Amino acid sequence: MLVVLVCAGLGLGAPQWAAARGAAQFPVQAADLAAGRQALTTLQVRDRDPLDGYSRDRFGTAWADVDRNGCDTRNDVLARDLTEVVVDDDGCRVLTGTLDDPYTGEQIDFVRGEHSADVQIDHVVALAEAWRTGAASWDAARRLALANDPANLLAVQGAANQAKGAGDASEWLPSSGYRCAYVLEQIRVKAAYSLWVTAQEQAAMGRVLSGCRTA
């Protein structure tokens, strides 16, 4: 039997900015903007480390069920971020849904199968970027936590995710009005995991935040 989830969300504790995710043109909250600007000043600024030794496997099994709810992280995020979600009779595997893509502002109909990659799960702070800004020295448990942290994950248009690659804020930003929320979340993640920023990245983040509108 298929299960229809009219509203996304599986109790993952999505942060306050998630309310703006579904409508990319929404302004951010003034308190979130102030906190982000303050947090940006606390991040260590230094050059990236080499990418030597990096592989996706260094962050554990992809989409592990770290919260032990019986569903893998990818399907948890799809169910959280898509609307009109239909899941398989296992209660986990998302079969169809609609994504209001935060990165492009486009609406995408997700259908599992040949075109599943039209919607991908992005690490807001890319794992390769994290590796070069502190994660190379972490233990396996901390890397696994970052790779599956819902605060660092978004369902997005596949093409936009591929264009971003491992770029930081100085190299890639969403084309939509979601830039402020995106940069704020990168700052939150980097602060929470004690990752550093480059001087160019810090400057790019500051420029974005200086142009943010607040609710």
The type of residue at 35 is A
What pLDDT is stored for residue 7 in this prediction?
33
Rounded-to-10 torsion of CA 47, 52, 57, 63: 20
**What pLDDT score was predicted for residue 158?**
98
For 83, phi then psi, to 5°, come to -115, 165
Farthest-apart Cα atoms in the chain, separation:
53
- Predicted pLDDT at 89: 95
- Low-confidence residues of the chain, pLDDT below 70? 1-26
Give which of 31, 28, 11 is closest to 20, Cα–Cα. 28
pLDDT score, position 17: 36
Report residue 90 as tokens.
């296992």
In whole angstroms, give the CA distance from residue 116 to residue 140: 29
Using a 10 angstrom Cβ sphere, with 0-12 exposed, 13-18 middle and 19 or more buried, the burial of residue 196 is middle
CA-to-CA distance for 78 and 107, rounded, in angstroms?
A: 14
For the chain, the straight-line distance linking the first and the last C-alpha, in angstroms and rounded, comes to 42
Tens digits of per-residue pLDDT, 41-58? 999 999 999 999 999 999
Burial class from Cβ neighbours inside 10 Å (0-12, 13-18, 19+) for residue 55 reads: exposed
pLDDT at position 21 is 40
What amino acid is encoded at 147 in this protein? A
Q: What is the CA radius of gyration of the chain?
A: 17
Q: Which of 3, 1, 29 has its CA nearest to residue 16? A: 29
Cα separation, 5 vs 27, in Å, equals 27
Q: What is the pLDDT of residue 4?
A: 39
